[in-house]
Copies of this chain bind each other. A is one copy, B any other.
Amino acid sequence: MSDVLKVALLGCGVVGSQVVRLLEEQADDLAARVGARLELAGIAVRRPGRHTDVPAHLLTTDAEALVARDDVDLVVEVIGGIEPTRSLLLTALAGGKSVVSANKALLAEDGATLHDAATRAGVDLYYEAAVAGAIPLLRPLRESLAGDRITRVMGIVNGTTNFILSRMDATGAGFDEALAEATALGYAEADPTADVDGYDAAAKAAILAGLAFHTRVTLSDVYREGIGEVTEADMASARAMDCTIKLLAICERTSPSGDGEKSSVAVRVHPAMIPRSHPLAGVGDAFNAVFVEAEAAGSLMFYGRGAGGAPTASAVLGDLVAVARNRVNGSRGAGESAYADLPLQQMGDVATRYHVALDVADQPGVLASVAGAFADQGVSIQTVRQEGRGDAATLVLVTHTAADAALAKTVDRIAEMPFIRRAASVMRVEGMSSE
């Protein structure tokens, strides 16, 4: 057993600088937990002059040389992006170094290549910080629930969009106004596309689904809708139903439809109405929360800060202690397990429920025509109510679950009917009891 383990840090931004701080402040505690002292071997950055808060002799611009150094035992990556990060991590893994990464984009796009490299080299690849920041979520999924069968993971995993939707709900603001507020407060980046369009949440959903269902899932497998088209009218419709709207990442294992058939996996990110009584409805601001349903454990919820330098660094350090302990013990943690290899379901086949609000001309036969359109697609209606009369009449329907394609097709057909003045709001509904 070595008395010191050398850590190479790739990147020193918001998260990396907190990693440096915690490594220093908690050095004695970390040593007691690991069984060896953790020492920084070097910090790879692009512009050393900008990092005056870390020891200058540790800074280097040559990340490739740093990860290849013989005296480096462990590599922490908080650069993000696909390349050159992937190449750096493959060099590290091939050189027998365990890796801790916070890189959701890379893990969701090409986690398999990294996992394979880690397995070949007999080292660890941990990435708790890639999903839901400080919330311990990946370790519970892949270890605590390893003796159970997970059926569903549903959560709020993007703080920026949750802040925007929470503001729209609380103040009645439109999307643009709420986004501007998020930008002013630093919750949204200058280019908010990755958050607003759901790419960030979709990457996290891919990682969660892979771990939950022991099946490889990549970003391109995830159905994705952002929140850019959520309107004040949608939010008002939600309020009228005693619901709110959240951007949800949903990973489901469907039951086999016939004998001898396999389950399949569906992964999707989209805004949805959820009842205010649902625990996820109360998750405000930039917080994250994830519901997990397992056959034996029942419903579990994990809640906390999904982003930010210190919370993310906490998750990175938890992983670093684990891989360092494994190194000291000459062992390896639980690696990727994709043994189940379940087929992925297309969004059109996924069972969802719709809330549909239609501005209609108040004339005889309207409800019959609309109901007929749902019936034609085999979609059953749970509730229907008409608000107002005459020119201001609105028909509000909530369906039972049906294939998403059938619901989408029904809405398209109804939108073309002559008495429909406007489809005021079409939104999926989640978290409601009853079929």
User: Which of A's residues lie within 8 Å of B, judged by CB?
Assistant: 18, 22, 26, 29-30, 32-33, 128, 134-136, 139-140, 143-149, 214, 279, 282, 294-305, 308, 310-311, 313-322, 325-326, 329-332, 334, 337, 339-340
Contacts and interface: CB of A to CB of B under 8 A. Distances in A.
Given A145-B318, A148-B314, A296-B314, A302 B301 contact: yes
B300 A301 contact: no
A332 B334 contact: no
B316 A33 contact: no
With most chain B CB atoms within 10 A of its CB, the pick from A296, A315, A318, A319 is: A296
12 contacts: A22-B148, A22-B296, A26-B147, A33-B334, A136-B300, A143-B318, A148-B314, A282-B282, A300-B302, A300-B303, A300-B304, A302-B303
Nearest to A325: B334
In order of increasing CB-CB distance, the 3 nearest A-B pairs are A147-B317, A331-B331, A136-B144
A134 B300 contact: yes
Given A33-B339, A297-B314, A301-B304, 15 more contacts: A18-B296, A32-B337, A32-B340, A128-B144, A135-B300, A143-B318, A145-B314, A145-B318, A147-B316, A279-B282, A296-B314, A297-B315, A298-B311, A303-B303, A326-B331
What is the total number of copies of this protein in its complex?
2
With most chain B CB atoms within 10 A of its CB, the pick from A146, A149, A308, A339 is: A146
Nearest to A23: B147
